[in-house]
Structure 1
Amino acid sequence: MRWKNRPDGSNWGDFGPDDELGRLNLLTPEKVLQGVAEVRDGRSFCLSLPLDFPGGNALNRFRHPPRRFTSGRAGKVNYNFPLHQVNPDFTDVVCDDAVLLYTQYSTQWDALAHVGGMFDADGDGKPEPLYYNGWRAGVDVLGPEGHEDALEGVRAERLGIEKMAETAVSGRAVLIDLERHIGRERVLVGFEQLKQIMQADGVVVEPGDMVCLYTGFADVVLEMNREPDAHTLENSCAVLDGRDPALLQWVTDSGLSVLIADNYAVEAYPARQASGCCAALPLHEHCLFKLGIHLGELWYLTELAQHLRVAGRNRFMLTAPPLRLPGAVGSPVSPVALV
């Protein structure tokens, strides 16, 4: 056993000692069939931003837009390349792409290896860096050795995003329309306000449901046309209050399988100040580290939300596998909603 103690409020071990899926285990065949039952109109919605949005790095200085390029071929660029230049009998013209991509720049999933915590799992009085279900930094999630900027060997041997991809991430989803009630005002949403909004709209979250929060933030991003203003983004649209213990308890009790938003981090970042030692991202800690709940960020939910408003609905079928990229701690995603 990798641990003797598990964090308070966690579910470590509940899905098995070597589990790497967390609450994705709740996306059962029955939950998929519940999702299929929500497909009534034959409409589909792309829930991804263009992956070169938000543009620049005002939202996160460590992440940059995709850089597209191509390789060489026969001494020329392999784009609009006539194959008769290598064989006079060929009539084809070909293009090949390559891309340098930050996996969490735009519409994305967080892998469970994205955020861990310092915790004394051995009971020896010394906290060590751990991830969901007690998988260990330096053993199961490998960082650079030697030079601090070295990239060789940086890899999630456990909890990588490919584990999520292998499940296909399909089932019933529920949309909570915060923008409808709050508009684009910057508001920290705690449990009481969330509960009131859900009751007003008849939203019920059952175990295994994938929960999406529409705030309007992605609309603000799109309106800036790849030239984001940091001050505007920091003061726009609703975010969950990760410091609210009642909200975190709701995440636990609801049984939701994944938590998704159209904003930057689902929760407020930076979070409200707290006294004493605490997580900078308390909702990330609660979801990724303690409960094994993958987080989706910067999704595009506008057209889906508008359709559901008119139809008086809040449930739909969602399919949203990440890239099956072994060892990655996040991934772009092009989710599809069916209604």
Structure 2
Amino acid sequence: MRRWLHRPEGSNWGDFGEDDQIGRMNLVTPEHRLAAIREAVEGIAIPLGLPLDYPRQRVFAGRNPPVLSPTQSADGRTMYGWKPTGGPIDVVNDDQVLLGLQFSTQWDGLSHYGTCFDADGDGVAEQVFYNGYRMDRDFVLPDAATSPAALALGIEKLAETCVQGRGVLVDLRSAGDNVTGMVGYDALMHAIEAQGVDVGEGDFLCIYTGYADLLLRDGAQVDQSALGACPGLDGTDQSLLTWIGSSGIAAICADNSMVEKIAGVDRCAGVPMMPLHEHCLVRLGVHLGEFWHFARLASALAERQRSSFLLTAPPLNLPGAVGSPVTPVGTI
């Protein structure tokens, strides 16, 4: 049974095949990847992720920091400073973690965000995700005995692509006007032009706002007003959304909490709460990375008068998850 008869305006549903589950990652071809590898001319690798226990001050209620605990042996002993019985000289440490998948540096999977849209033309809006996958058919809802699972669009689909390609960095901290506000098409294009950034099909657009710098510097004492002053993309700007659609970029990765900046939660009927999420994740299959850390990379690129680099950022290959921590690496 075909999942949809109508697709949202401006979407690319079906363009990569009726059963596609990776969206614009299809544009990261072997040729694009080889071109990206050629960006690594010095072999300097720079980490682009926060420690997984950051932010120290909760940004989203319900998203919790990781909790480490020791593994228990089969006979109930704690396997930390553990010595096997019988006199061997070995000492073993073994641990496990309760990990919030979207607490720190992360990828949003295409199963993370959906919308209500009448995809089958029956006059009733369904809860749909990228390429018409549906909440009532393609997800397992949690209950007391069942764990949640995305049967389609799970983060493992992104992991299978290996997520390696050409990253391009735009520094919104030095973008002139709107550096503390919602950055729409005009301000983003001004920054791209002023910084000589060449953004093309299959690229990973990386947005540096300084948000993660504050999280890392100030920890639990971070000033919320200072965080709020950091810029973010304006998902209400239709020109910006149109450019994302026409640019062919594979993903957007930002050092802030949501990529986009919202003045408040709009709960009006028929209006998406997070319009850039809806446009990217649902309509286009453009993955979003959040809470990345670009300070060292930005400095290194600026010293070399460059903006592009080799990006390697596979998520956890965790079937059924809707998001994942990531330890991205930029190589110049």
When the two structures are superposed, what TM-score results if normalisation uses the length of structure 1? Answer: 0.93
The question of 1:50 aligning with 2:44 is answered no
Cα displacement (A) at 1:272: 7.7
1:308 alignment partner, SS class: helix
Give matches, 1:126-165, under 5 Å.
126-144=124-142, 150=144, 152-165=146-159
The question of 1:314 aligning with 2:312 is answered no
Cα displacement (A) at 1:92: 1.1
Q: Provide the residue aligned with 1:28 in structure 2.
A: 29
Aligned identity (percent) is 46
Cα displacement (A) at 1:232: 3.8
CA distance in 2, matches of 1:100, 1:275: 36
Q: String of CA shifts for 1:64-86, please: whole Å, max 9, x gaps.
A: 11111012335432111122xx1
CA distance in 2, matches of 1:286, 1:272: 16
CA distance in 1, matches of 2:186, 2:71: 55
Q: String of CA shifts for 1:232-269, please: whole Å, max 9, x gaps.
A: 43x23110000000000110011000110000000013
Q: Provide the residue aligned with 1:116 in structure 2.
A: 114
Q: Provide the residue aligned with 2:79 in structure 1.
A: 78
2:283 alignment partner, SS class: helix
Runs of 4+ in 1 over 3 A off after TM superposition: 73-76, 182-185, 226-232, 269-276
Give matches, 1:49-68, under 5 Å.
49-57=50-58, 59-68=59-68
CA distance in 2, matches of 1:331, 1:132: 18
Q: Provide the residue aligned with 1:107 in structure 2.
A: 105
Range with bigger deviation, 177-186 or 101-110: 177-186
1:326 alignment partner, SS class: coil
The 8 Å contact of residues 236 and 276 in structure 2, kept in 1 or not, is answered as: yes
The 8 Å contact of residues 184 and 236 in structure 1, kept in 2 or not, is answered as: no
Cα displacement (A) at 1:106: 0.2
Give matches, 1:1-339, under 5 Å.
1-57=2-58, 59-73=59-73, 74-83=75-84, 86-88=85-87, 90-144=88-142, 150=144, 152-182=146-176, 186-233=180-227, 235-270=228-263, 277-339=270-332
CA distance in 2, matches of 1:164, 1:172: 16
What's the Cα RMSD here? Answer: 1.8
Q: What are structure 2's unaligned runs of at least 5 residues?
A: none
Task: Name the aligned partner's letter for residue 124 of structure 2.
Answer: K
The 8 Å contact of residues 135 and 141 in structure 1, kept in 2 or not, is answered as: no
Task: Name the aligned partner's letter for residue 64 of structure 1.
Answer: N
Task: Name the aligned partner's letter for residue 251 of structure 2.
Answer: V
The 8 Å contact of residues 184 and 215 in structure 1, kept in 2 or not, is answered as: no
Cα distance 1:220–1:208, how it changes in 2: closer, same or farther (>3 A)? same
Q: String of CA shifts for 1:128-170, please: whole Å, max 9, x gaps.
A: 101100001021122235xxxx471410000000000011001
CA distance in 2, matches of 1:184, 1:242: 14
Cα displacement (A) at 1:205: 0.8
Cα displacement (A) at 1:275: 6.8
Q: What are structure 1's unaligned runs of at least 5 residues?
A: none
Cα displacement (A) at 1:229: 4.4
2:229 alignment partner, SS class: coil
Cα distance 1:151–1:240, how it changes in 2: closer, same or farther (>3 A)? farther
The 8 Å contact of residues 184 and 216 in structure 1, kept in 2 or not, is answered as: no
Give the aligned length: 330
